[in-house]
A and B are shown apart, each in its own frame.
Chain A
Amino acid sequence: MQTNEQGGAEARYQAALNEGRFSIQRCNDCHKHVFYPRVVCPHCGGASLAWVEPKGTGTVYSTTTVRRKPEAGGDYDVSLIDLDEGVRMMSRVEGVPPAEVKIGMRVRAKVVDNKGAGLVVFAAEEAK
């Protein structure tokens, strides 16, 4: 049972990220994974959601390069990532130029610091 002291699902998710841990939820009733974190399962309506650590691997489902003036920081990537657990999240792929991020690319999650808060970003997986 989650208590108010521990915070709601969103607060707990962010608190874990701030300590460098990426967690998602899994429904104890229908066993599906859930993201973003919630208190009621969007698949079955159950209210028993457990925190689990995802494998961290996923695939780029779609991607766009947001154009920005160089003096404001230049172009950057915004992607939708399908985690191997079957949930989707918005993020960005780092380590390659935005134009080289492609749909279908395999990526791996890492937690970075974003103005003092933990944030999940992805890096392209090394080709085997």
Chain B
Amino acid sequence: MSLRDLRGRTAIVGVGTAGCGEAHGMSDLEILSQAAKAAVEDAGLAMKDMDGLCTANLNSAMWPLNVVECLGIRPKFVDGTNIGGAAFVAHQLPAMLALNAGLCDAVLVCYGSTQRTATFGRKERTAARNILDPNPFEGPYQPFNPPSSYALIAARHMYQYGTTRRHLAEVAVAARKWAQLNPEAFSRDPLDIDTVLKARMISDPFSAYDCCLVTDGAAAYVMTRADRAKDLKKKPVHILSNATAAWHRSVSGMRDLTVTPSKESGERAFAAAGLGPKDIDVVQIYDAFSINTILALEDLGFCGKGEGGPFVENGAIAPGGKLPVNTNGGGLSCVHPNMYGAFATIEAVRQLRGECGERQVKGAKTAVVNGNGGTAASSQSTSVLATAGAL
């Protein structure tokens, strides 16, 4: 079986989010449960129908066990792969294989984190992770990660291609303009380029607005085979393809800082889907930092290498621009609870269903989702999605 053989044979049939922004007093598992329940009900299914599970969490090495116990499910297929925030896009391929091999009938992909409001917070968790999973060849230099690693990537892109801080700011401002159309987005205050440029610097060339939000949030979606999907409650969104590339762990292990794993995952995903960038109506890119959007647009082929800065100029990816990118406001302005991949997927599904209200991209039939994982564009996973009519 090739990736091409799986084209369109799996669909996302239910989506749900919970606890986005601030979920005071709640645990990771509690908001995950709420999102899972919402996704299952959105599909018109019951929790007991979930006989496949994909999930991961930054703080727990055996997280799928926490989830099966809490939800009371006994899945026949489990994938707990954690390659960072791209995981919740990368989970699609093993789930597609399991579903189409008949190993299971419905896979629940789910995530939840209350990193923003948890009493045992980010600082303690980061310190604990550095003890459990040290990087002896970077740690002593105290990069402020993840911002510093992506800042090194951005600095090199600027040096090689003349990308400017203003280009980066265009990405942040576009994300904010979409967020202003999304009642669920966390940051909706007006934002302009000068404000981004003059804001507090974090790790050059990034100011605070070049960096993703730190919020709580949970997201879940349900996958099933296309034959089963057509009888369910909502209009199915078909997965034409999914491909993942994992290249390194740390920024010092990244060979060319201006080329990301999306170059590989995107090529494989587009080839299997039989589509190219020009066929795509709406794009959801995991924007951990402003540079991620520029790099993904280049590496997925929406523009040439080094042209990402000029590509996003003059509101080109903002509402009303030439390409709708991150229509929920992205990780920069909508929600970013440590790992964002599932949220990008859900926004693509909502767009293809036509559920997006003021921010709806009219007539959207195809979407690309590009997950990003790790502290240095370490892993990326690309999916091409389409409505039944665009199969």
User: Which residues of A line the B interface, CB within 8 A?
Assistant: 10, 14, 36, 61-67, 76, 78-80, 88-92, 99, 103-104, 114, 117, 119
List 6 interface pairs A-B (beta carbons < 8 Å), by A numbering: A61-B156, A64-B151, A66-B144, A66-B203, A76-B142, A80-B251
The chain B residue with its CB closest to the CB of A68 is B144
Q: Is B257 at the interface (CB under 8 A from chain A)?
A: yes
The answer to whether B142 and A64 have CB atoms under 8 Å apart is: no
Q: Which residues of B contact A66 (CB under 8 A)?
A: 142-144, 148, 203
- Which 7 pairs, one residue from A and one from B, show the smallest C-beta to C-beta distance? A64-B151, A62-B156, A62-B152, A90-B252, A36-B137, A65-B204, A103-B159
From known contacts A80-B252, A119-B140, infer whether A62 and B155 are also in contact, taking CB-CB under 8 Å.
Answer: yes
Main secondary structure of the interface of B (DSSP, over half): mixed
The chain B residue with its CB closest to the CB of A117 is B140
The answer to whether A67 and B203 have CB atoms under 8 Å apart is: yes
Q: Which residues of B contact A14 (CB under 8 A)?
A: 136
User: What is the bound-complex CA distance between A103 and B163, given in angstroms?
Assistant: 14
From known contacts A66-B203, A80-B252, A103-B159, infer whether A91 and B136 are also in contact, taking CB-CB under 8 Å.
Answer: no
Name the residue in B141, B155, B203, B205 with the highest tally of chain A Cβ atoms < 10 Å from its Cβ.
B141
Interface size on B, residues (CB 8 A): 25
The answer to whether B143 and A62 have CB atoms under 8 Å apart is: no
Q: Which residues of B contact A114 (CB under 8 A)?
A: 140
User: Which residues of B line the A interface, CB within 8 A?
Assistant: 136-138, 140-144, 148, 151-153, 155-156, 159, 200-205, 250-252, 257
Shortest CB distance B375–A (Å): 12
User: What is the bound-complex CA distance between A61 and B152, given in angstroms?
Assistant: 9
From known contacts A66-B143, A90-B137, infer whether A78 and B148 are also in contact, taking CB-CB under 8 Å.
Answer: yes
Residue from the list B143, B144, B155 in contact with A90, Cβ < 8 A: B143
Name the residue in B137, B138, B250, B251 with the highest tally of chain A Cβ atoms < 10 Å from its Cβ.
B137
Q: Which residues of A contact B251 (CB under 8 A)?
A: 80, 90
Q: Which residues of B contact A36 (CB under 8 A)?
A: 136-137, 252
Q: Knowing that A36-B136, A90-B138 touch, tell me 17 more A-B residue pairs with CB under 8 angstroms.
A: A36-B252, A62-B152, A62-B257, A64-B143, A64-B148, A64-B151, A64-B155, A65-B203, A67-B200, A67-B201, A80-B252, A89-B252, A90-B137, A90-B251, A90-B252, A104-B159, A119-B140
